[in-house]
Amino acid sequence: MAGDKTVDTTGLLGWIDRRFPLTKLFKEHMSEYYAPKNFNFWYFFGSLALLVLVIQVVTGIFLVMNYKPDAKLAFDSVEYIMREVPWGWLIRYMHSTGASMFFVVVYLHMLRGMFYGSYRKPRELVWIFGVAIFLCLMAEAFMGYLLPWGQMSYWGAQVIVNLFSAIPFIGPELSIWIRGDYVVSDATLNRFFALHVIAVPLVLIGLVVAHIIALHEVGSNNPDGVEIKEGPKDRYGRPVDGIPFHPYYSVHDIVGVAGFLIVFAAILFFAPEMGGYFLEFNNFIPADPLKTPPHIAPVWYFTPFYSMLRATTADFTWILAGSSVLAAIVLFAKGGLKGAWRLAVPVGLLILALLFRTIDAKFWGVVIMGGAVVILGFLPWLDSSPVKSIRYRPGWHKALYAIFIVNFLMLGYLGTQAPNDLFNLLSQIGTVIYLAFFLVMPVWSRLGTFKPVPDRVTFRPH
């Protein structure tokens, strides 16, 4: 009978249920979790991210069985896995391809959240957990990238860890503490191995669980941004615009999984290096502390933020200082801030402008690179649009999102290239566009003529 909450207490399942809430958990998070019935293509990527996480954990376990976290043996152990371990090449390529595919699906998953306002009330905590997962994933990828002990692994780690030395007062000591030595060495490899294999995955899995629990507590968003829990309900109190996640979406997601695995297998078997973007050619050369590669760049999924780091030169800090002064003048003249804030915020911006010119540009590059990621966590409070979904926003809002996407891709490409004057200028323009998109969002997101949001989700059976 529909709505029956009784639990079978007989057999093996009953024995388990009396000791562990297995059936209850299945009902709460699968068969009796009602999701909006108008999910589209964009909603594949959450389950795909979970699939790739499983692939990474399983393949990582098998790689650890033969990997040696030793500066003298690490590169050779990877070659041993590739050449001597039965199916070792497949496991290694699954792990390296999986790392890039993880970021592909996570970037698309976050983009969907931005399109449909999935960070808006009541899902602020869901979004914050998601951004924390993204930060954790970046740390996991960075530490794992050092483990093959190739040329790009070694020098990439040297460059990134050295960035911490730009922090005033504690920077040099902090970078030594992170490396465990004065240069990237065996001590660095061992601690990165421990963090990559044990510490960060535990935090990552915990955050994923928290993300899912928080999501299922408030319910999933949908392309219309309509809250189905607040809409009409049937006689059992279930939302009319919702359907059980299982079996409908658990089966529906199989389509996304099948499509993803086809693409994954095509890359895995035919182009695991992806032209040097997934696996750089320099990383097939053993690490040599005495020979610096002509061009050092991180893997593609870090390159948009790496471009912002390189764009922050001494000349660029003049632009940042000028922008801060201009913002201070506008805020004070407009009088949009009330009380003590009217004076405190402009004064703070003027002090910031002074700091831009007195502290080394390298430090501000690190701040902008980190801030470009952290600012995502503030989206629920930056977006002041009266509607959630991009479907009901003005057309020029969609154009801004398109510019943001193209700009992010441009920054990603520029980060893979050797710097020159033109590329540096484009990176600086791209950095300004990226930061302005978020920092000016409280203003532009509420401007324009918005379409009326329907009371119920729009749905066409297919």
* CB-based contact 437:400 (threshold 8 Å): yes
Q: Is 109 annotated as a binding residue?
A: yes
Peptide bond into 247 cis (omega under 30): yes
Tokens of 266: 């095509």
Closest CA to 181 of 196, 171, 191: 191
Alpha helices, H only, 199-249: 200-218
Closest CA to 328 of 342, 312, 314: 342
Q: How many CB atoms lie within 10 A of CB 11?
A: 9
Residue type, 459: F
- The CA distance from 126 to 39, in Å, is 18
The string of DSSP letters for 63-132 reads HHTT----TTTHHHHHHHHHHTSTTHHHHHHHHHHHHHHHHHHHHHHHHHHHHHTTTSTT-HHHHHHHHH
Residue type, 381: W
* CB-based contact 394:450 (threshold 8 Å): yes
Q: Is 252 annotated as a binding residue?
A: no
Per-residue CA distances from 114 to 177, 221, 404, 438, 448 (Å)? 37, 11, 11, 11, 18
Closest CA to 22 of 34, 14, 33: 14
Q: Is 95 annotated as a binding residue?
A: yes
Q: Is 211 annotated as a binding residue?
A: yes
Per-residue CA distances from 409 to 59, 427, 432 (Å)? 29, 11, 14
Q: How many CB atoms lie within 10 A of CB 356?
A: 21
Contacts of 369 (CB under 8 A, 6+ apart): 163, 305, 306, 308, 309
Q: How many CB atoms lie within 10 A of CB 389?
A: 20
Tokens of 305: 């933020």
Q: Which residues are annotated as a binding site for a ubiquinone?
A: 216
Q: Which residues are annotated as a binding site?
A: 95, 109, 196, 211, 216
Q: Which residues are annotated as a binding site for heme b?
A: 95, 109, 196, 211
